[in-house]
Amino acid sequence: MTQTVESTTGVHTYIQRSNVIVNPDPDLQLAHATLKPIHLIRNDCGELCNTSRKGEPGPYFDHVTANINCEALFRNEYIDSGHGLAHAPKEIPKELMDEYTMNGRVGLKKWYFDEQYLGKKAFTPVWTEEMIEKNIKEAKTHKLFSPYGLAEINALRDGLKHAPGIQDGRVLVIGSERPWAEACVLETGAREILTLEYGKIISTHPKVKTIVPLDFRMRYLNNTLGEFDAVVAFSSVEHSGLGRYGDALNPWGDIIAIARAWCVTKPKGSLTLGVEYKYEGEYIAFNAHRYYETSSQDQDLELSDTKPQEIDQDLELSETAQCKNKVTTNALQKNQDLIEMQTVPEVNQVEEYLSKLPRSRSLTLKLIVSYVNYVYDLRGQKFIDCELCPISP
């Protein structure tokens, strides 16, 4: 029989037979529950999660190559597990501080949320066909609402128009509380969407299906998930592994999310990615999200599968990821067409163009889309402006 006793110091003790066990404080409890899973995740992640490696200099990033084992990343149950606490963690355990901050290279600030969606109902649990069709019409008239503002929506729409695999494609959307991103993808001409979200969502739209992380993982392992022509993630992966939405702490949550997306994307598929960034340096606002740096130290991560019987996949970045996100998955060095576009003289003009833009948070995504449209649409070595982005030099 177990008895709980409240001591005068506020510490709970559990008395069972002759043994006395001190119940640790929440931070210590979190650390104990996290360390073993983190060790197992690190083993399956391999060199992908070794963030201390130096990359080869590139025109926009240092390029880092990593071998990955897709099967191992999906078999690891801890990657998709919850933190199991009554409330989202408020602090990073000291035992994981080096992993989260990349040995001090990434800053740390506090910004706390407790929104536990994992395994529960999502923010908007039912997406009706009428709701999504209304959003599509609003997107076409530049009136679609999102928490990020009209300019960011139009920037995303423009990026999607240039992303291979969106039109008439099967598209994976990672992270959605409301179906505004899905509406943009459908407006661009997608044939089918599968939305991966922490919380459970019911969609009545015939072209939009939803899935939670556990089911996504299991369908991959039993070969019923299939592949995608394109992947879209907007303000999603920067939250992965911070515990805000009920997910377990994972210092490499963002990296692994992109790697898994690569694993389920067809060769020559595209990734359209929007994340938060800061000019003054990257940091984690725990547990809200990560801010990625825009300096030349950012790294573009090239992945290749460790299983020899599988064909390497080239994942082209169509929107924000290529220019501003150090965890992006790309095989630029395998794609000669993109290499040639990166080295044309006009690149310096784009750098100068971007350097003159105001450094405000509101420019985050529209600025990046302009940059990437240049990289991907420079077929005739001409500067192509983002068609819908309301910015100018």
8 Å CB contact between 375 and 341: yes
Helix and strand element counts for the chain (H, E): 12, 18
Helix or strand holding residue 41 (H, E):
helix 26-45
Q: How far is CA 334 from CA 36, 263, 268, 304, in A?
A: 37, 17, 11, 11
Position with higher pLDDT, 367 vs 100? 100
| Residues facing 65 on adjacent strands | 302
Tokens of 84: 């199991």
What SS3 state is found at 75?
Answer: helix
Predicted confidence (pLDDT) per residue in 286-329, tens digit: 989 998 875 433 445 555 554 332 323 333 333 333 333 323 33
Query: Which residue reads 């001090």 in tokens?
Result: 104
Tens digits of residue pLDDT in 310-320:
323 333 333 33
| pLDDT, average across residues 114-137 | 80
In the prediction, which pLDDT does 121 show?
A: 53
Residue 374 has pLDDT above 80, yes or no: no
The dihedral built from the CA positions of residue 122, 143, 230 and 129, taken in this order, carries a sign that is positive
Per-residue CA distances from 13 to 1, 2, 165 (Å): 14, 10, 58
Q: How many residues does the chain have?
A: 393
CB 246 within 8 A of CB 39: no
Q: CA dist 245 to 90, 248, 292, 309, Å?
A: 12, 9, 20, 37
Each residue of 72-107: pLDDT tens digit?
999 999 999 888 888 889 999 999 999 999 999 899
Those residues with Cβ within 8 angstroms of residue 352's Cβ, 6 or more apart along the chain or in another chain: none
Tokens for 70, please give them: 């897709």
Answer whether residue 235 shows pLDDT above 90: no
- Among 2-11, 121-130, 279-288, which is the least confidently predicted range? 2-11
| Residue 199, pLDDT score | 85
Query: DSSP secondary-structure letter at 284?
Result: E
pLDDT at 171: 98
Q: Is the pLDDT of residue 279 over 80?
A: no
Q: Where are the domains of the chain?
A: 26-377
Which residue carries 């994942």 as its tokens? 315
d(CA 162, CA 366): 14
Q: How far is CA 214 from CA 3, 82, 119, 220, 354, in A?
A: 36, 11, 9, 10, 41
Residues 222, 178, 152, 238: is their CA dihedral positive or negative? negative
- pLDDT band for position 116 (cuts 50, 70, 90): low
Q: For residue 91, count other CB atoms closer than 10 A to its CB.
A: 15
Structure-model confidence comparison of residues 2 and 26, the more confident one: 26
Positive or negative: CA dihedral 265, 269, 272, 277: positive
